[in-house]
Amino acid sequence: MIAEINFDGVIGPTHNYAGLSPGNLAATHNAGAIARPRAAALQGIAKMRANVALGLAQGVLLPHPRPDHQWLTALHTDYASAAPHLKARALSASAMWAANAATVSPAPDCDDGRCHLSVANLVTMPHRSHEWPDTLAQLRLAFANDAFRVHAPVPAPFGDEGAANHMRLCAGHGAAGVEVFVYGEAGGPFPARQHVEASRAIARAHRLDPARTLFVEQSAQAIAAGAFHNDVVAVANGRTLFAHELAFADRDGFYAALRAIMPEVEIVEVSAAEVSLADAISSYLFNAQLVSTPARGQTLIVPREVRDCPAAWQWIERHVAGNGPIRAVEVVDVRESMANGGGPACLRLRVACDPATVDPRFLVDDRRLDLIAEVVSEYWPEVIAPDHIGEPELIARVEKAWRALLRALDLVELIDR
C-alpha cells in the first residue's frame, strides 16, 4: 500500500552560519552569528517526533561527512591549508535540507510502475554542488528495492535543486497525480536555482505522462524578494495547492492548465493584500509541511515564525475557522534551521511508496528518534562560532560525531563508501 513518508534530514554537527547562499535572505542576514548544532539537531528531531504523533510515516536522511575531504582533494588542497571560503564550503551542513536531495515521482505517475528519484545537482551554489555523491549513495541504499529507480543528477550547466521546486497533486497517494515542475529565470540581483531543461530531463527520466506534467515559471518578483525556491511561496498536498498570489509568472495560465487536468483541485491562494510577499518569505508561511493526518485531516505544519507574524497568523486562523481544505495547524520550533534559511518544508523529502520496500534503517519511530537524540546530545558541538571553523579540535569532534551516528543506526557502509 502506498503511503507518504517524510524523510527529514538530521541536522549535522557542522551546522553553522557562514552565509553561503545569495538570495536566501535569512542565511545572508545571519552570516557570522553563533550557531548551535546540538540545539538545531534536537529541534529537528522534535519536529519528526511531532509528525509521528500525528500518525505520519517518518524517515531520515543522514548528515554528510564534513569537511568534504574528497572535494578539497579535487581542488588540490586540504582542510588545513585551504582558503577560508573553501573551508566554509567544505564544512557546510546544508544537506540537512532534504527537500533539495532529489525530485520524487511516485509509481502511479511513471509508466514503468516504479517510484523514480533523481538526485539534485545543486550546481548553482558551490557549497552545495558537492553534496550529490553522498546523497546518491544514501538514496541508492534506502531505495535499493526493485520498486524504485534512483537516477544520477542532471549534468551541468542546468541547475536542479530537487523537490523544493516540484509539487504533486493527486486524489490519493496511490492514484495518478499531476506533477508540477517550477523553474526560474533571474530575479533582480539573485540567481534562479531551477533550470527548465533540468526539469524537463527529470520528467523524461521518470517516464511521466506529458498530459499530466506541467512546467511553470516562478515569478521574477518572488525570486527578487527572496523566494530562492518555489517551496518558499507554494506547497501542494492531495487536491490542494496552497500558494501566494505572486508565486508564479503566469498565475492565471497555470491555474487554468491545472484545472483542465484536475477539475477537483482546490486552490488556496493568499493575496498580497492579506500577507505581503515580504511577510510570507520572512515567516515561511508556505515553507510548511502540508500533510494529510489520520485524525485531523489536512494539516499545515508551520514554524514558530508564522505565529510571530500577525498577518500570516491571522490568515491561518481565518482559514482554519472557515470551511477551507486546511483543517488544522501545528506549530514547530526549528529556529536554528530558520535562521539559516530553511523551514519545515526544507527539512524533508516526501516519498510516496510502500514503506515495506524501504530499507528499514532509514525509517524511524519514537524509539529510534530517542537513539538519534542520545547520539546528538553526546557528540554534537553545543556552539560553532565563525572563528571555530578552522580549529583542528572542531574537525576531529564533528568527524567523530558523524561516525557515531552512522554506527548507532547500523549504517556503517556509508562510512566506508
Strand, helix or coil at 384? strand
Active site residues: 161, 229, 346
The rounded distance, in Å, linking the Cα atoms of 23 and 192 is: 9
How far is 314 from 377, CA to CA, in rounded Å?
Answer: 37
Q: What is the pLDDT along the chain (417 residues), one digit of tens a residue?
A: 899 999 999 999 999 987 666 666 655 676 678 899 999 999 999 999 999 999 999 999 999 999 999 999 999 999 999 999 999 999 999 999 999 999 999 999 999 999 999 999 999 999 999 999 999 999 999 999 999 999 999 999 999 999 999 999 999 999 999 999 999 976 567 777 899 999 999 999 999 999 999 999 999 999 989 898 999 999 999 999 999 999 999 999 999 999 999 999 999 999 999 999 999 999 999 999 999 999 999 999 999 999 999 999 999 999 999 989 999 999 999 999 988 889 999 999 999 999 999 999 999 999 999 999 999 999 999 999 988 888 899 999 999 999 999 999 999 999 976
**Residue in the structure block whose three cell numbers are 516526501:** 350
3-414: CATH topology? L-arginine/glycine Amidinotransferase; Chain A (3.75.10)
Cα 166–Cα 228–Cα 148 angle in degrees, nearest 5? 30
Q: Give how far Cα 374 sits from Cα of 43, 50, 332, 400, Å.
A: 13, 18, 21, 14
Cα dihedral value 311, 347, 233, 300, nearest 10? -50
What global pTM score does this model have? 0.96
Q: Where are the domains of the chain?
A: 3-414
